[in-house]
Structures are given as structure tokens and as C-alpha cells.
Amino acid sequence: MNSNVRPESMLRINTKELADNFINEQVALIKKQVGDKKVLLALSGGVDSSVVAALLIKAIGKQLVCVHVNHGLMRKGESEQVIEVFRNQMNANLIYIDATDRYLDKLKGVSEPEKKRKIIGEEFIRIFEEEARKLEGIEFLAQGTIYPDILESDGVKAHHNVGGLPEDLKFELVEPVKLLFKDEVRVVGRALGLPASMVDRQPFPGPGLGVRCLGAITRDRLNALREADAILREEFEISGLAGKVWQYFIAVPDMKSVGVKDGKRYEGWAAIIRAVNTVDAMSATIEEVPYPVLHKITNRITTEVEGINRVLLDLTPKPVGTIEWE
């Protein structure tokens, strides 16, 4: 039987009991596959890689080496959360690399979206390769591949999983959640004791805020985007929208408009709110955000975030607009 095909008989994991059974099964399989060897995992802080990390820690503890690369394009507080949960709470073998300068220097002046994605993806592989070469006794590579990744016709997303490693670094793969759908991965994550903020984290593109800081990325605009996005997330939590909306974020375009502050004219960027609902990300509908919530978000962003003087709402469904702007 093809191990990449989900068997008809496999129940949808939607209870703690089913999740616990899955965890016990996978722990036994991982132990059998890995033995006393070491496993390397690129831990992004996303749902899939976090659940795989927790599963492997349960199975093989310190034999797992997690590498978290902060490319400077993370949302506010995300790298800090990875360190807190995995290193401090789970006592994981975690290597943290702050590669912010390295990425932003490479991305300087690059405005073409595909080129930005390519630089971000390739740089990640280079850093990951450098770290892998420093380590000894690694024979396995764990990945957070999930079933939709396998079903997608273009194969596994290159920026998400570590494809493209050089020939002499060929590891055997460990992919414990590859037959699960996203909702099942979340149930397993909860059963493993991961915090809700990590398990319920909304989908986040591999290139991170790099594709939401539209056009050529500058540090000041990236910083404004990160702060505005944190306010949006906070207000969606407060208003109860967080649990109802599949994906919501801010995009900041590379254009300024004139505004007024403290009685003076000044130029600032616009923050664009995108809030969509979808089942499969193939199509998406617009979530209706109550006006009082929008007014509060607008007020907070324009008063608290340096450099932003307008807030816009994107009302475009998919099709005709994609979920991300770039």
C-alpha cells in the first residue's frame, strides 16, 4: 500500500481519545524507525512543525534537534513563543538562529514577489544546511508535511518543507502527521499539551511578513506592519472574531498618502485589513467585521503605530483576489 495515501478506514481525529491513540501509535513507529539516532527538524513555530516537534520530543526526547530560524519576517512575539514553549517548557534540544540582518540585507531593494519568495526560501535552506553540517550523528529529517501538502498537485511546498538540500545531506524522512488534515493536527497538538495560541495559530505563509510588506521591504515599514498586525490580532481576540475567521492579517503597500497629525501634514503608509473565511483555501469569502470593531482597530493603528496614517478594508473574495496580496 502507498504510505502516502490515507486509508479509507482511518477515522477523522476529532476527539482527545482518538488523538491519544494516534499519538501512542506514532510514538511507537517513531521509536522503531529512529532507534538511537538523531533527528533534525526545522521548527517554524507553525501548527504542523510544532505538533511534529512535540510528538518527537515525546517519542525520543533529546535525540531530536530543532532548528528555529528567525528570518526577521515573523509576527510579533512568535520566535519568543517558540523558545518559551520548546526550550523552557518542553526542555527541547533547540538551536535558535536570529538571521534577521542576513535576510533583510539580501532582500534590500527587491520588489518582485516571486523573487522575494525565492530569496527567502533559498536563504532558509542555506542556513539550515550550515547548521546540519555542524551537527553529528543526524540520520533523519522530520517534516511537518500534512495530507493537503501531498494532495496539492504541485507537490510539497518548497518554502514549507526542506526540499533542496544538497546530495550529501540526504536524510531519511520522518513525517508523522502526513496523513492528517489541518483540523486533526490541531486536535493532536492539544492532546500533546501545546498552548492554544500555537495550536490555533492561523495559516502563515512560509515567507512570513515578507509577502505582506508589499514591494521592496524596508525595516521601518516591516516594523510598522508587525505592530499593526499585532493590534489587529489582539482586537479580533477581544471581539470574539478570532475563532470565527479563518485568516486575518494586515498588508502594507509601498506607497504613502498625506495625513494630518498634531495639526501638521505628514506622509504615512496605509494598513490594509484582510479577513477571510474558507474551507480549503481554494476559494474564500469575506468576513463581515462590525463597524465598531473596525473603528477601534483604525484608531489604535493610526495612533499607536509609527508611520501608518490610514486603515483600509479589503472586500475582495477569492476568486477574484487571492488570499495573500503577493
Q: Tell how strand 247-251 and strand 138-142 pair up.
A: unpaired
Please give the distance of CA 170 from its chain centroid, rounded to a whole number. 25
Q: What is the total count of domains within the chain?
A: 2
Instruction: Give this prediction's pTM.
Output: 0.87
Q: Give residue 268's Cα distance to chain centre.
A: 28
Q: Note whether 176 and 283 are same-domain residues.
A: no
pLDDT tens digits along 282-308: 889 999 999 999 999 999 999 999 999
Over the chain, what is the mean pLDDT? 92
Buried b (16+ CB within 10 A) or exposed e, 99-109: bbebbbebbee
Residue 207 falls within a domain, yes or no? no
| Residue 11 placed within a domain | no
**Residue 2 pLDDT exceeds 80:** no
- Say if residue 32's pLDDT is above 80: yes
Among the ranges given (94-98, 163-167, 223-227), the one the predictor scored with the smallest mean pLDDT? 163-167
Domain containing residue 276: CATH number = 3.30.300.10
Shared-domain flag, residues 52 and 22: yes
**Cβ-count burial of 292 within 10 angstroms (0-12 exposed, 13-18 middle, 19+ buried)?**
exposed
Same domain, yes or no: 220 and 187 = no
Full domain range(s) for residue 239: 212-313
The domain boundary, picked from 152, 173, 199, lies at 199
Instruction: Report the largest interatomic distance among the alpha carbons of the chain, rounded to a whole angstrom.
Output: 71
| Mean pLDDT, residues 49-72 | 96
CA 229 to chain centre: 14
Q: Is the same domain home to 74 and 44?
A: yes
* In a shared domain, residues 154 and 292: no
